[in-house]
Amino acid sequence: MTHHILVVDDENTLRHFLRLNLQEQGYQVTEAADGNTAVSLIDKHRFDVALIDLRLNDMNGLDIVRYLRKVSPKTNVIILTAYATLDSSIEALRQGAHDYLIKPCDTAELLTSVADGIARQSASPPTLRRSEKEAILEIRNLQLNLTNRQVSRDGEIINLTPTEFDILATLMANPDTAIDSITLIRQVRGYEATEADARAIARVHIHRLRHKLEPDPANPKYVTTIAGGRYLISTT
């Protein structure tokens, strides 16, 4: 089965770059240079994943996200954003976007996010037991609220993507326990991945999580890597 990807961006060079990289992976790609074209395409076709720039010449990308949620809720949305539009990308995540990527996009990160978004469509999302839904997880100065899905460090809110939040929640719910990549992806995303794929997916998300969570990402004190592609969050 060939998966269909919609790329919405008014920068011609970036849009073509995304199309070429996605096509090399065997995806069918449709481009839209503005919001109105994107809406028209969404009305005519079903897309597995939509890559949407938040700053378009004719429309706010958030309007396209809202429209997709109404007419094609199974389409996973990945936001394309510059640092100046990070607040808007967080709002898109709250509205159900799967992920966001900082422009210019890292190719490996892009392909991982798209593959993850496609895999989520056929997966049953992991569920929390009732007692866990009401829980607040705390390790040192980190606090994670499973009810409102907020993370804070010393009281300061840290905005995470859904995948980053779920990875951190899984690690914090199992403190001082090294979790291998296959188990982590299964628990977080609800699907089985090969060891190579699981390590690649986990590596990208852990890397991004550390850059938001750690004072010094190069020397992490919260999420540490253990031999064998495993990850651990320590209580000490």
Rounded CA-CA distance 27/23 in Å is: 5
Taking only the tens place, the pLDDT of each residue in 149-193 is: 889 999 899 988 878 888 999 999 999 999 999 888 888 877 677
Distance of CA 168 to the CA centre of its chain: 13
DSSP 147: T
Same domain for 116 and 140: no
Q: What are 107-110's contacts with CB under 8 Å, separation 24+?
A: 107/21, 108/200, 108/204, 109/204, 109/208, 110/18, 110/21
E strand map for the chain: 4-8, 28-32, 49-53, 76-81, 99-102, 136-139, 142-145, 150-153, 156-158, 179-180, 223-226, 230-233
**Domain tally, the chain:** 2
- For residues 178 and 208, membership in a common domain is answered with yes
Q: Both 117 and 9 in a single domain?
A: yes
Q: Containing domain of residue 23, as a range? A: 4-121
Q: Are residues 22 and 113 in the same domain?
A: yes
- Judged by phi (left if over 0) then psi (alpha if -120 to 50, else beta), residue 229 lies in left
Residues 102, 37, single domain; the answer is: yes
User: Are residues 114 and 147 both part of a single domain?
Assistant: no
Closest to 101 measured CA to CA, from 121, 122, 76: 76
Of the candidates 184, 61, 181, 197, the residue with the CA atom closest to the CA atom of residue 116 = 197
3-state secondary structure of 193: coil
Q: List, for residues 106-148, the tens digit of each pLDDT value.
A: 888 888 888 878 876 655 444 444 444 458 899 999 999 988 8
Tokens of 8: 């919405």
Residue 74: count of CB within 10 angstroms of its CB: 10
pLDDT of residue 223: 94
Tokens standing for 73?
């809720």
Q: Are 79 and 52 in contact (CB under 8 A)?
A: yes
The whole-chain average pLDDT of the chain stands at 85
Query: What is the per-residue pLDDT for 28?
Result: 96
Helix, strand, coil percent values for the chain (each to nearest 5): 45, 20, 35
Residues 54 and 105 in one domain: yes
**What's the pLDDT tens digit per position in 55-74?**
899 998 889 999 998 999 88
- Same domain for 80 and 164? no
Q: Is the pLDDT of residue 199 over 90?
A: no
CA pair distance 123, 68, nearest whole angstrom: 20
| Banded model confidence at residue 41, pLDDT cuts 50, 70, 90 | very high
CATH classification of the domain holding 54: 3.40.50.2300
Q: Which of 121, 153, 187 is the last residue of a domain?
A: 121
Same domain, 74 and 169: no
Query: Is 136 in the same domain as 114?
Result: no
- Which residue carries 């403190």 as its tokens? 175
Average of per-residue pLDDT across 20-36? 95
Give the residue from 121, 141, 173 where a domain finishes: 121
More confident residue, 235 or 83: 235
pTM of the shown model: 0.63
Distance CA 212, CA 198 (A): 21
CATH number of the domain where residue 192 is located: 1.10.10.10
Q: Are 172 and 80 in the same domain?
A: no
The last residue of a domain, from among 91, 121, 151:
121
pLDDT band at 202 (very low <50, low <70, confident <90, very high): confident
